[in-house]
Amino acid sequence: MSFSSLGLSEQLVRATADQGYETPSPIQAKAIPAVLSGRDVMAAAQTGTGKTAGFTLPLLQRLAENPRTGKGPRVLILAPTRELAAQVHDSVALYSRYMPTKSAVVFGGVKINPQMMKLRKGLDVLVATPGRLMDLYQQNAVRFNEVEILVLDEADRMLDMGFIRDIRKILALLPAKRQNLLFSATFSNEIRGLAEGLLDNPVQVEVAARNTAAESIKQSVYPVDQSQKTALLSKLVRDNGWEQVLVFTRTKHGANRLTQKLERDGITAAAIHGNKSQGARTRALADFKQGEVRVLVATDIAARGLDIKQLPQVVNFELPNVPEDYVHRIGRTGRAGESGHALSLVSADEARCWRALKG
């Protein structure tokens, strides 16, 4: 199977070839024809499955079929975090490089004025976090009357982060006649409720079983006393020569503390969490991607949706509070079609809690 056999234009196929993609991933093979057909789509897909291209490529094609007449936006993509919004926008820009399509991304934590200027110039695709989008709307910087396609990316996390009210407000402002695409790693009852009100006879796309991890990820557990975890992590990083490892902690404070201890052990590390400024988060991620920082320590919310290519190693320094987060965390390892390793350092107390949760 090839991207062109799915019905994508030569410009889009060329853009995927530039990225070195040879064949569509399973989610792409299913989602691309569904989106091209104009129907609503409800997709169960985690980060790492190629889901972003799965909705971006066909929606760009649909836009190209009718040129823009007004100021737009014609496509609205909502994402839960700044990082994810920025990554989705990078994909939009990358895949539309041979097309006249204009796009922008807006998120909170940075100045609003430059975003207003961008919107004033007119655009086809707008990627946004819900809170900032509502701020912009309230300041008359954006209108929704030309929106033809709405994408909710990582909808489960948007609900977890308390965006449901903003999302509902935005939905109420959109033209009734539009195409809706909903992507979520998990399908809780709350998501199903949202989907019911939003989607009209959707095509359902599912690649991995509900709430299970991608098969290409090797998972292991290391039983260890809480007090020995930092020393063990330092040793594992050194002994295994891990050059790029993403480590999860449960709290922001824990992330800072672990980062400091690793640095003291001579291992370059940076923390990424909600209390860090946008600049600090972007810098930490860039340093990590470039190999200047060996260990990136993250909380669940900050790490959600991070697209770090070919990340071989993820460590759960502490287990998350809920099983869904475990699935999201280990989804950071490997990329479409490649395997990775997720290691959990588990104390006796944590093991007890998880057994209770399972029972």
Size of the site for ligand AMP (CB under 6 A): 16
Residues 43-102 that bind ligand AMP (CB under 6 A): 47-53
Helix 278-289 to helix 82-95 angle (10° resolution) is 60
* Closest CB to ligand AMP among residues 229, 329: 329
* Closest CB to ligand AMP among residues 202, 340: 340
* Closest CB to ligand AMP among residues 288, 317: 288
* Closest CB to ligand AMP among residues 15, 345: 15
* Closest CB to ligand AMP among residues 52, 259: 52
Separation in Å, CA 298 to CA 243, 302, 315: 16, 6, 10
CA distance 310 to 325: 20
Residues 2-41, one symbol each (x = binds ligand AMP by CB under 6 A, - = not), give -----------------x-x--xx--x-------------
Shortest separation between residue 253's beta carbon and ligand AMP, angstroms: 29
* Closest CB to ligand AMP among residues 210, 253: 210
Residues 210-249, one symbol each (x = binds ligand AMP by CB under 6 A, - = not), give ----------------------------------------
* Closest CB to ligand AMP among residues 265, 324: 324
Q: Following DSSP, what letter does each residue of 57-104 receive, concatenated?
A: HHHHHHHHHS---SS--SEEEE-SSHHHHHHHHHHHHHHTTTS---EE
All residues at 6 or more sequence positions from 76 whose CB lies less than 8 Å from its CB, including other chains: 126, 128, 133, 144, 147, 149, 150, 151, 170, 174
Shortest separation between residue 104's beta carbon and ligand AMP, angstroms: 19
CA distance 330 to 322: 13
Using the structure block, give the residue that is written with the tokens 């919310």. 301
All residues at 6 or more sequence positions from 234 whose CB lies less than 8 Å from its CB, including other chains: 261, 262, 265, 267
Separation in Å, CA 248 to CA 21, 318, 344: 29, 7, 9
Residues 321-350 that bind ligand AMP (CB under 6 A): 335-336
What token pair was written down for 270? 């940076």
Contact yes or no for 5/183 (Cβ under 8 A)? no
Question: Which 8-state DSSP code applies to residue 145?
Answer: T
Q: From the DSSP assignment, how many helices (H) and strands (E) are in the chain?
A: 15, 13
* Closest CB to ligand AMP among residues 139, 310: 310
Shortest separation between residue 32's beta carbon and ligand AMP, angstroms: 10
Shortest separation between residue 77's beta carbon and ligand AMP, angstroms: 12
Shortest separation between residue 307's beta carbon and ligand AMP, angstroms: 5
- The single residue among 111, 309, 355, 358 that binds ligand AMP, judged by CB under 6 A, is 309
CA distance 182 to 110: 27
What token pair was written down for 38? 């104009």
CA distance 148 to 151: 10
Shortest separation between residue 260's beta carbon and ligand AMP, angstroms: 30
Shortest separation between residue 28's beta carbon and ligand AMP, angstroms: 6
Shortest separation between residue 287's beta carbon and ligand AMP, angstroms: 19
CA-only gyration radius of the chain, Å: 21
* Closest CB to ligand AMP among residues 89, 252: 89
Shortest separation between residue 86's beta carbon and ligand AMP, angstroms: 12
Please give the residue ranges that form the binding site for ligand AMP (CB under 6 A): 19, 21, 24-25, 28, 47-53, 307, 309, 335-336
